[in-house]
Structure 1
Amino acid sequence: MKTVIIDDEKPSREALQHYLTKYCPEVTVVGEADSVESGLEAIRLHQPELIFLDIEMPFGNGFDLLERLPAEQEPEVVFVTAYEQYALRALRLSAAHYLLKPVDIDDLIDAVAKVNSRLGLREQGQVNKALLANLKSGASEVPKRLALPLIDGLEIITPQEIRYLEAADNFTSFVLTDGRKLLICRKLKFYDALLAPAGFCRIHRSTVVNLSQVRRYHRGKGGAVTLEDGTELVVAAARKQALLEALA
């Protein structure tokens, strides 16, 4: 797997290359760069399948590079960051690969394995589009697009397409307005936090609902809600007050 490392800090590039050589034999580092401009040139020159991309760099950041990539050049991207919470939210929303500095070897091996399994699915362009859309929407604002990782690729949806979400052990079941159900390998807690700014509310330990889909609340100890399609969902007593305040 031809790889380019783009990071303005030479020690970080050297450490990452050492780890890749020692622990990821399927990866061949064919080039390095220390800025957006030199990174774009390295990608043009080497045509890598994978790039490791630092987020914070002088005279631009990793997202600037991503936005300037030609459509015909869409390598897999593993972002590398030291802290940027705003960026992390966008990365998570978009199902993008990322590593936190200092890079953990197990996380690196896992990221490379995921990239290797995804190569050939031609989905990186969709990840990039979702990522840039979420960055432009703002970290604390409503996410515009959500990239859901499936076994055979990605499903790109908007929050408005979600009716409700249900916990299924370590998975989350997305029930969409078109009637489909998608089983995603992430816990409900993860999506609860990401979708709260988009008008979603946790009404039960196993259920998060899109408030725009709620048409009626039924009184009771916790009560229940009826959605647009007639689905009735139980509300936990401990979640009742938060739901009523959100609906009000």
Structure 2
Amino acid sequence: MDKLKAILVDDEQDSRQILSNYLAKYCPDVELMAACKNIQEGLEAIKKISPDLLFLDIEMPFGTGFDLLEQVEDISFETVFVTAYDNYAIQALNMSAAYYLLKPIDIDELVNAVDKIKSEKEQNVDSFHVQVLLDNIKQENERPKKIMLPTFEGFEIVPIDQIIYCEADDNFTKFHLKDGKPLLISKTLKHFEEMLPKTKFVRIHRSSLINTDYVVRYTKGKGGYVTMENDVELEVSPKKKPQFLEAFK
């Protein structure tokens, strides 16, 4: 496979220089074609070069990296987001399974992101990460409404409001959806507990994370039980009971 043609957009000169040096030294499969300092330069470079890969700073003067992507008519490249802030954007990035690097950039994480993108390109895997991300960013109240779930066959884009509950299965998580088709995902339940909106999803047991919109009944007990809309009964652990009841106040 030919080298990945890359563009870098970052308003900080030191950051551009550091990432340029890292790419040259540790990512031989990447050829950096342009290092841009603002959104306008980035848009012009994308139009001229048609890159395979875009390294994009999120926080910039006069706009964000998301604003740049909104102005690209046809996103045919993969994007690695770069940010100094572990902030509101991180949840949306995680929900869309997008690639991102936190500053200061860790070399191993950079190499890992490039390797994954190169592998996708070699397998001709179409990426919808960015489109799902932009859809989520547009949502009101900064609450993402779709999640991208990597499966053994590829990935599934699932509306959050279709998730009834999530079930731990060792280091995997089984998603139980409204359409009745479960999805087994190779990430832990804790990973999704941290990712899914806490206004809707509550951990009621070490093995269960539920969408409170689908609770139809609670039965008292030491911890008690909840009955979900799909007639599944789930145990509430005594330790998690206060957190569960708080969600319904």
* Structure 1 length-normalised TM: 0.91
* Alpha-carbon distance in 1 for matches of 2:91, 2:197: 13
SS in 1 for 2:239: helix
- Give ranges in structure 1 of 5+ residues lacking alignment: none
Counterpart contact for 1:142–1:198, Cα < 8 Å: no
Aligned to 1:79: 81
Partner of residue 6 from structure 1, selected from 6, 9, 21? 9
Aligned to 1:246: 247
Q: Following TM superposition, by how much is the alpha carbon of 1:203 offset from its aligned partner in structure 2, in angstroms?
A: 0.5
SS in 2 for 1:236: coil
- Give ranges in structure 2 of 5+ residues lacking alignment: none
Structure 1 residues 151 and 21 mapped into 2: Cα distance closer, same or farther (>3 Å)? farther
* Alpha-carbon distance in 2 for matches of 1:35, 1:141: 25
Q: Following TM superposition, by how much is the alpha carbon of 1:54 offset from its aligned partner in structure 2, in angstroms?
A: 0.8
Aligned to 2:20: 17
Partner of residue 96 from structure 1, selected from 95, 98, 107? 98
SS in 2 for 1:134: helix
Q: Following TM superposition, by how much is the alpha carbon of 1:152 offset from its aligned partner in structure 2, in angstroms?
A: 4.0
Aligned to 2:126: 122
SS in 2 for 1:247: coil
Aligned to 1:229: 230
Aligned to 1:38: 41
How do 1:153-172 and structure 2 match up within 5 A?
153-172=154-173
Identical columns (%): 48
In the alignment, residue 122 of structure 1 is paired with which amino acid?
D
Partner of residue 67 from structure 2, selected from 48, 61, 64? 64
* Alpha-carbon distance in 2 for matches of 1:67, 1:196: 24
Aligned to 2:135: 133
Counterpart contact for 1:149–1:184, Cα < 8 Å: yes
Q: Following TM superposition, by how much is the alpha carbon of 1:209 offset from its aligned partner in structure 2, in angstroms?
A: 0.6
Structure 1 residues 239 and 84 mapped into 2: Cα distance closer, same or farther (>3 Å)? closer
In the alignment, residue 55 of structure 1 is paired with which amino acid?
I
Aligned to 2:178: 177
SS in 2 for 1:21: helix
Counting helix residues as a fraction of each chain, which structure ranks higher? 1
SS in 2 for 1:65: helix
Q: Following TM superposition, by how much is the alpha carbon of 1:84 offset from its aligned partner in structure 2, in angstroms?
A: 4.8
* Alpha-carbon distance in 1 for matches of 2:242, 2:86: 34
* Alpha-carbon distance in 1 for matches of 2:92, 2:31: 28
Aligned to 2:204: 203
Q: Following TM superposition, by how much is the alpha carbon of 1:229 offset from its aligned partner in structure 2, in angstroms?
A: 1.6
In the alignment, residue 115 of structure 1 is paired with which amino acid?
I
* Alpha-carbon distance in 1 for matches of 2:40, 2:95: 27
SS in 1 for 2:156: strand
Q: Following TM superposition, by how much is the alpha carbon of 1:6 offset from its aligned partner in structure 2, in angstroms?
A: 1.1
Counterpart contact for 1:56–1:62, Cα < 8 Å: yes
* Alpha-carbon distance in 1 for matches of 2:153, 2:114: 17
Matched pairs, number: 244
Counterpart contact for 1:141–1:197, Cα < 8 Å: no
* Alpha-carbon distance in 1 for matches of 2:37, 2:199: 37
* Alpha-carbon distance in 2 for matches of 1:145, 1:57: 26
State yes or no: 1:50 paired with 2:56. no
Structure 1 residues 196 and 87 mapped into 2: Cα distance closer, same or farther (>3 Å)? closer
State yes or no: 1:147 paired with 2:151. no
Structure 1 residues 88 and 196 mapped into 2: Cα distance closer, same or farther (>3 Å)? closer
In the alignment, residue 153 of structure 1 is paired with which amino acid?
G
Counterpart contact for 2:9–2:57, Cα < 8 Å: yes
Counterpart contact for 1:3–1:48, Cα < 8 Å: yes
Q: Which moves more between the two structures, 190-199 or 74-83?
A: 190-199
Q: Following TM superposition, by how much is the alpha carbon of 1:197 offset from its aligned partner in structure 2, in angstroms?
A: 3.5
* Alpha-carbon distance in 1 for matches of 2:151, 2:189: 16
Q: Following TM superposition, by how much is the alpha carbon of 1:174 offset from its aligned partner in structure 2, in angstroms?
A: 1.1
Counterpart contact for 1:161–1:177, Cα < 8 Å: yes
